Amino acid sequence: MERKLPYYTEPFERTGLARRFLDAFAAILTHSNYDLILDAYARLGTRCSRCTDLCQVYQATGRTEDIPCHRSELLLRVYRRYFTAPGRWKGRLFESFTLTDEHIYEMAESFYRCTACRRCKLECPMGIDHGLMTHLGRWILAEIDIIPKALLVSVREQLEGETKNTSAIPVPALIDNCQFLEEEFEEIYGVPVKFPIDVTGAEWVFFPAVSDYLLEPDTLMGVAAVMHVTKGSWTIGTGNFDGINYGLFYSDRMLGRIVRNEAKEVRRLRAGGVLVGECGHATRSATFLATYAAEDPPKLLNILQYTHRAWKEGRLGLKKGVIEERTTYHDPCNIARTNWIVEEPREILRHICADYVDMVPNRSENYCCGGGGGTVSIDEIREFRTGIGGKRKAQQIRDTGARYVVAPCANCKKQLREVCEDHGLSEVQVVGLHDLILKAIDWEALKAEAKAGPGAEPTAAAPPPGAETGKEES
Amino acid sequence: MESWIEWARGPAFRLALALLLLGLLRHVLLTVIGVREAMRKAGDKVLPGKRIRAAVLSWLFPVKRLGTRTVFSTASVIFHLGALLTPLFLLTHVVLVRESIGLSWPTLPPLGADLLTLAALLGLAVMLAIRVASRPVRVLSRFGDYALLVLTALPFLTGFLLAHPAWNPIPFGPAMLLHVLSADLLMALIPFTKLVHIALLPATQLVSEVGWHFIPDAGEQVARTLGKENQPI
Ligand code: SF4
């Protein structure tokens, strides 16, 4: 009987799975750097179980299969048996572990129960990065065509489809959309904010999660408003306007291709760099520009960093305390786990919100939303995502008593909305940071300025306290 | 008996020591070479040095770690202290070394040595108890995990009994033989078991970071090897 996986895949060859898995594993080992970590991890695992304290999936299920160390061991066992000398000898001399179809299906299930949030690494005394094991395990599986269909079709459309983006938005629709948002600006605020398209020589090419064009108009308007006020030099490229990179979630091969396409668009537009929208994995995957466009890597900035810097330098005025409802902040794993972008959004939120509270734990120790590692796109596992993966997050949100949860990440937003829905947190609104910034900009002043005509300095609102001491962050 | 003990602390000890030192050296060298090689091939040559250092130090001096899993962490820390200090700075050990090769260094006072030995044993006992009693550790544990705990305890237990003949139920000869042999075996096994972390722990945080430094054309090469170059997605 065909074993069922918890997610849909396209039909794949079911015979000779083990042999093909080993071939793919061998090929990857030959051409990549993974040998180094596998060798270290295979020796060092101490099986101390400290990681269980940190994994939101294990905490919700208590299942042995969900222990991070146990999951990594699934792959390490294959490595030891087939790719190390002692393992091969042992295999020859005694009856030892043999790779079976069953074991492969177990990995296929297990590596998609892990959200690759890398929280467990914080407590591993041996420094084992289980998220990296998940990352590698998924790549090997992908080479034998075991890939969640949701991820696969997105990447196919992005790399080889007509529209070249994961949401399959045709360019005319994109342009329409931007024009519509420009009209909104005129209508609501009376200010001519632009979405510049295909401008050559701009400093930044904008790469949001493309789904924002369909689902997050407020986030996009917030970004455009910031760019307008700060006179930012940016553009949306019609050659490539999608920051999503599901290669990060299942195949280094795809990761590289998608990243190179970003670099290509920056070069086509003779721009300076990549400005990533509110999206955690898009931001982290863009750090691989340094790998895949190493000859001449474009600069990289996340919009949170851009906005924070402008505000600190006094180029962006934001009204203090305009958001009255209690607000909290969800750290997207991909930008927070290494303490990379954690203070910038908080500083802004503390300024514009009258009642800001942090979730506990937070920053590098934050809990994953439960939809990380691309699992949020797999609709058929929603029950698992929100019931198990998102259980801890729901509790965290409830504990803050917040009305707004700010999550500067397209994936986190989708997942958190579903988590709130499934956990009865109907009064909670999940928004992007720039959705709130939109409300904190002094539109009256901007309108007056627009009336006064070009040449007038933007003075939207008072600069933040300490603006002159604002330090540059790289 | 005498000649067995002589053998255990003569040739057998030298062999075990050689295995230990050469084994660890080999691991360190292979890791250094591996890291350099990987970084040479990687597209991105920058490593987050500060973060790696901070992580390594936080595990080498795990003061802040005592907050999580307090009992286990404390047991582990006192075990490591005892296990590191006692064998190296015990008076009788240092005297043996001086007699054979003439080198000498400061030693622990007897009470200190006793306390550290007991700390090591207590730490091991607690770790063993947790391994048996706590579900997630128990389900992860394999035979080797228990065997190593017991083997590690043996030299300390016998050493303590040898230092306190009044409490020692075993005759001196067999106790000494057991002490030296178990220590030999433990030393020889270190490079081949998870105990290799003695040498590799400072390197693993670095190795994990290097793991995320990919080779730019790895994907294309893999596709070629698997005959998938021109296949559509
Ligand atoms: S990476 Fe995250 S989801 Fe995966 S095992 Fe670790 S803590 Fe759990």
Q: Is A383 found in the same domain as A285? A: no
What is the SS3 assignment for A169? coil
- Closest approach atom of ligand 1 to CA A372: 3
Q: Is A69 in the pocket of ligand 1 (CB under 6 A)?
A: no
Residue A25 Cα distances to A28, A85, A247, A331, angstroms:
5, 16, 17, 34
Residue B94 has pLDDT above 70, yes or no: yes
Q: Is residue A389 part of a domain?
A: yes
Backbone angles phi, psi at A429, to 5 degrees: -115, 125
pLDDT tens-digit series, residues A49-92:
999 999 999 999 999 999 999 999 999 999 999 999 999 998 88
| pLDDT over 90 at A230, yes or no | yes
pLDDT band at A467, cuts 50/70/90? Answer: very low
Ranges A284-288, A448-452, B84-88: which has the least confidence: A448-452
Return the DSSP state at A434.
Answer: H
| Omega before residue A361 within 30° of 0, cis | yes
Length of chain A: 474
What is the spatial distance between Cα A301 and Cα A308, in angstroms, rounded to a whole number?
11
Residues A233 and A203: beta-carbon distance below 8 Å: yes
Angstrom CA distances, B170 to B103, B120, B161, stand at 32, 21, 9
pLDDT in tens, B98-152: 998 999 999 999 999 999 999 999 999 999 999 999 999 999 999 999 999 999 9
pLDDT at residue number A454:
60
What does pLDDT average to over chain A?
94
Q: Give, for A206, the enclosing helix (H) or strand (E).
A: strand A204-207
From CA A350, how far away is CA A354, in angstroms rounded? 7
Q: How far is A194 from chain B (nearest CA, A)?
A: 35
Indicate the burial class of A360 (C-beta count within 10 angstroms; 0-12, 13-18, 19 or more). exposed
pTM of the model: 0.94
CA distance to A32, A170, A292, B189, per residue, from B222 (Å)? 9, 32, 16, 37
Distance A133 CA to ligand 1 centre (A): 10
Within-domain flag for A449: no
| CATH number of the domain enclosing A409 | 3.40.50
Note the pLDDT of residue A90: 87
Residue A178 contacts residue A221 (beta carbons within 8 Å): no
Task: Determine the Cα–Cα distance for residues B45 and A297; give it in Å rounded to an integer.
Answer: 12
* pLDDT over 60 (residue A460): no
Query: Per residue in B9-42, pLDDT tens?
Result: 999 999 999 999 999 999 999 999 999 999 999 9
Tell me how far the alpha carbon of residue A134 lies from the centroid of ligand 1, in angstroms: 9
Residue A278 inside a domain? The answer is: yes
- Rounded to whole angstroms, the Cα distance separating A74 from A88 reads 17
- Kindly state whether residue A343 falls inside one of the protein's structural domains: yes
In one-letter notation, the amino acid at residue A371 is G
For residues A162 and A243, membership in a common domain is answered with yes
pLDDT > 70 fraction of chain A, expressed in percent and rounded: 95
Instruction: For residue A4, tell me if it sits in a domain.
Output: no
DSSP-assigned states of every residue in B93-149: HHHHHHHHH--------HHHHHHHHHHHHHHHHHHHHHHHHSHHHHHH--HHHHHHH
Say if A293 falls within a structural domain.
Answer: yes
Cα(first)–Cα(last) distance of chain B, in Å?
72
Could you tell me if the CB of A120 is within 6 A of ligand 1? yes
Same domain, A286 and A381: no
Residues A196 and A134 in one domain: no
Q: Strands A327-329 and A204-207, how do they pair?
A: unpaired
Three-state DSSP state, A34? helix
Task: Name the phi and psi angles at A317, rounded to 5.
Answer: -90, 135
Instruction: Measure the CA–CA gap between A25 and A23, rounded to whole angstroms.
Output: 5
Question: Closest Cα to residue B93, out of B120, B119, B117?
Answer: B117
Residue A163 lies in a domain: yes
Flag if B200 and A33 touch (Cβ within 8 Å): no
Helix axes A17-31, A101-110, angle to 10 degrees: 60
Average pLDDT, chain B: 95
pLDDT in tens, A177-228: 999 999 999 999 999 999 999 999 999 999 999 999 999 999 999 999 999 9
- Per-residue pLDDT of B111-123, as tens digits, reads 999 999 999 999 9
Mean pLDDT of A407-415: 98
Q: Which of A105, A128, A147 is the last residue of a domain?
A: A147
Q: pLDDT per residue over A145-160, tens digit each? A: 999 999 999 999 999 9
Residue A8 maps to a domain: no
Helix (H, G, I), strand (E, B) or coil at A155: helix
Tell me which residue of A143, A443, A414, A185 sits closest to A322, measured CA to CA: A443
Contact between chains at B216 and A294 (C-beta distance less than 8 A): yes
CB-based contact A63:A174 (threshold 8 Å) = no
The helix or strand, by DSSP H or E, that contains position A398, with its residue range, turns out to be helix A391-400
- Order of strands across the sheet that contains A404-406: A327-329, A404-406, A429-431
Query: By alpha-carbon position, which residue is closest to atom 8 of ligand 1?
Result: A55
Q: A276 - beta bridge partners? A: A207, A302
Pick the residue from chain B with its C-alpha nearest to A127. Answer: B205
Instruction: Give the closest of A128, A129, A291 to B42, CB-based.
Output: A291
Domain limits for position A41: 17-147
Among the candidates A119, A147, A175, a domain finishes at A147
pLDDT at residue A468 tops 50:
no
Where is the domain boundary, A253, A279, A312? A312
Q: What is the Å distance from ligand 1's center to A69 Cα? A: 9
- Helix, strand and coil content of chain A, in percent to the nearest 5, comes to 55, 5, 40
Token code pair at residue A367:
């809990």
pLDDT in tens, A344-398: 999 999 999 999 999 999 999 999 999 999 999 999 999 999 999 999 999 999 9
Q: Is residue A87 located within the same domain as residue A169? A: no
Query: What proportion of chain B, given as a percentage, has pLDDT over 90?
Result: 94
**How many residues are present in chain B?**
233
Q: Report how far residue A120's alpha carbon sits from residue B208's, in angstroms, rounded to the nearest whole number.
A: 13
Q: Which helix (H) or strand (E) holds A61?
A: helix A56-61
- What does the pLDDT look like over A289-307, one tens digit per residue? 999 999 999 999 999 999 9
What residues contact residue A10 under an 8 Å CB cut-off, 6+ apart? A145, A147, A149, A152
A118 and A246 both lie in a single domain: no
Look at the alpha carbons of A81, A87, A93, A95 in this order and tell me if their dihedral is positive or negative.
negative
Average pLDDT of the segment spanning B37-48: 97
Q: Same structural domain for residues A243 and A337?
A: no
- Cα A449 to chain centroid, rounded: 37
- For residue A466, the model assigns a pLDDT of 46
Nearest 5°: the CA angle A145, A416, A438 is 115
**What is the pLDDT, as a whole number, of residue A1?**
56
Q: Let me know whether A297 and A178 are in one domain.
A: yes
Q: Tens of pLDDT along A12-53?
A: 999 999 999 999 999 999 999 999 999 999 999 889 999 999
What mean pLDDT is predicted for residues A403-429? 98
Same domain as A201, residue A138: no
Is-contact A375 A389, C-beta < 8 A? Answer: yes
Pair A86, A182 in one domain? no
Query: Predicted confidence band at B67 (pLDDT cuts at 50, 70, 90)?
Result: confident
- Best residue in A12, A48, A288 for a mutation probing chain B (most B CBs within 10 Å): A48
Q: Is residue B167 within 8 Å of residue A15, measured between CB atoms? A: no
CA distances from A44 to A410, A426, A460, B66 (A): 37, 46, 57, 21
Burial class from Cβ neighbours inside 10 Å (0-12, 13-18, 19+) for residue B33 reads exposed
Give the angle subtended at the CA of B37 by the CAs of B32 and B40, to the nearest 5°. Answer: 125
Split into its structural domains, chain A has a count of 3
Spell out which residues of chain A touch residue B202, defining contact as CB-CB under 8 Å. Answer: none
How close does chain B come to A421, measured CA to CA in Å? 32
ipTM attached to this prediction: 0.95
The amino acid present at B192, given as its one-letter code, is F
Identify whether residues A390 and A251 lie together within a single domain. Answer: no
The answer to whether B34 and B188 are in contact (CB under 8 A) is no
pLDDT tens, residue by residue, B136-194: 999 999 999 999 999 999 999 999 999 999 999 999 999 999 999 999 999 999 999 99
| Residue B69: closest C-alpha in chain A | A50
Q: How far is B179 from chain A (nearest CA, A)?
A: 25
Are A120 and A181 in a shared domain?
no
Residue A363 is predicted with a pLDDT of 97
* Ligand 1 centroid to residue A1 C-alpha, Å: 31
Considering only CB atoms, B68 lies closest to which of A43, A64, A123, namely: A123
In this predicted structure, the answer to whether residue A167 has a pLDDT above a threshold of 70 is yes
